[in-house]
């Protein structure tokens, strides 16, 4: 069993970003990322801090816009409009989930698609479906594809099952794997809570992408020998033995599934580090595509 270490692949992606950033700097340009946080959710705040820290480590221009939970829809849209027109900002990300009174879909649509480094704007979703390389792909599925490539997993002609149909992971993941070319050309089945005979579906898979949001959902009896498993899930479960009182686990019952796998990602240390790395890569790409001024 080969353990696909996301931490190592993420470092490789970040090294590529550093080289690209140095090239842009020689042209007098610097990628800029703005992360918008509404409210004080601890998990979101920690995630925003990690993005800001990674930007600064790489030498990106980083803006961390923290707004109170009472921020109105109109006020948030006004802030996004300012970022859209700011020439030193190439990527805009609004941390999810926002407070309940905020229409998240409307916020996503308000972001300039050329700066939508999350890849959620309808224009970028369409570009992904059309296999248009000028679009932005959501960071987590893009990271999953990179993990498969780095592990030498052949996707062409492979039977892939994607567990989960969200717009954040499941749907874009399926589109990526179906696309023509390296890292694609797969036969993809998207399974979800309404899928009948799910065990039969997953046992036929050469590759399984688990993104269903349920801890230890994928069991040993659901996979065949020699399968490759990418575990996207990050779930908190109670663990009295841990100082924090909880531990992080994936959507895969790792201990029982791993012995049957040709390759598998761990949680933590698998897909998680790739999400931030691909966000940095998308921001660099946006800078290349937008003729902005140096900050």
Catalytic: which of 20, 51, 54, 171? 51
21 membership: H or E segment, kind and range: helix 6-26
103 is catalytic: no
The CA-CA-CA angle for residues 9, 14, 20, to 5°, reads 135
Tell me the three state secondary structure of residue 176. Answer: helix
260 is catalytic: no
| Residues 108-145: b if buried by 16+ CB within 10 A, e if exposed | bebbbbbbbbbbbbebbbebbeeeeeebbbbbbbbbbb
Catalytic: which of 20, 54, 95, 145? 95
- The phi-psi region of residue 278 (left if phi > 0; otherwise alpha if psi is between -120 and 50; otherwise beta) is alpha
Which structure tokens are listed for 223?
């996979």
CB atoms within 10 A of CB 284: 25
145 is catalytic: no
Please tell me the distance from the alpha carbon of residue 2 to that of residue 5, in angstroms, as a whole number. 9
Of residues 128, 152, 154, the one with CA closest to residue 141: 128
Please tell me the distance from the alpha carbon of residue 175 to that of residue 185, in angstroms, as a whole number. 10
Catalytic: which of 20, 112, 116, 118? 118
The residues with which 267 forms a beta bridge, in sequence order, are none
Tell me which residues are annotated as active site. 51, 95, 118
């Amino acid at each position: 069993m080969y353990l696909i270490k996301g931490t190592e692949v993420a470092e490789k992606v970040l090294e590529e970003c550093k080289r690209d950033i140095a090239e842009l700097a020689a042209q007098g340009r610097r990628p800029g990322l703005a992360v918008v946080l509404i409210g004080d959710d601890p998990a979101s705040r920690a995630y925003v801090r990690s993005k800001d820290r990674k930007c600064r480590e790489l030498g990106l221009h980083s803006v961390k816009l923290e707004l109170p939970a009472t921020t109105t829809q109109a006020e948030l849209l006004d802030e996004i409009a300012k970022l859209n027109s700011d020439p030193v900002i190439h990527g805009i990300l609004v941390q999810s989930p926002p407070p309940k009174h905020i229409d998240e879909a409307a916020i996503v649509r308000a972001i300039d698609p050329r700066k939508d480094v999350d890849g959620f704007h309808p224009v970028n979703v369409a570009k992904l479906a059309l296999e248009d390389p000028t679009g932005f792909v959501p960071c987590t599925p893009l990271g999953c594809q990179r993990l498969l490539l780095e592990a030498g997993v052949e996707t062409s002609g492979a039977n892939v099952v994607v567990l989960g149909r969200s717009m954040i992971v499941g749907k874009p993941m399926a589109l990526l794997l179906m696309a023509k070319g390296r890292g694609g050309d797969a036969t993809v089945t998207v399974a979800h809570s309404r899928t009948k005979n799910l065990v039969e579906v997953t046992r036929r898979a050469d590759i399984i992408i688990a993104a269903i949001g349920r801890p230890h959902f994928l069991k040993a009896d659901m996979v065949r020998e020699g399968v490759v498993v990418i575990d996207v899930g990050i779930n908190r479960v109670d663990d009295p033995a841990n100082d924090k009182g909880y531990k992080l686990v994936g959507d895969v019952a790792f201990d029982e599934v791993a012995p049957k796998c040709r390759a598998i990602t761990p949680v933590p240390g698998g897909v998680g580090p790739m999400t931030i790395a691909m966000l940095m890569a998308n921001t660099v790409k946006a800078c290349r595509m937008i003729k902005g001024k140096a900050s």
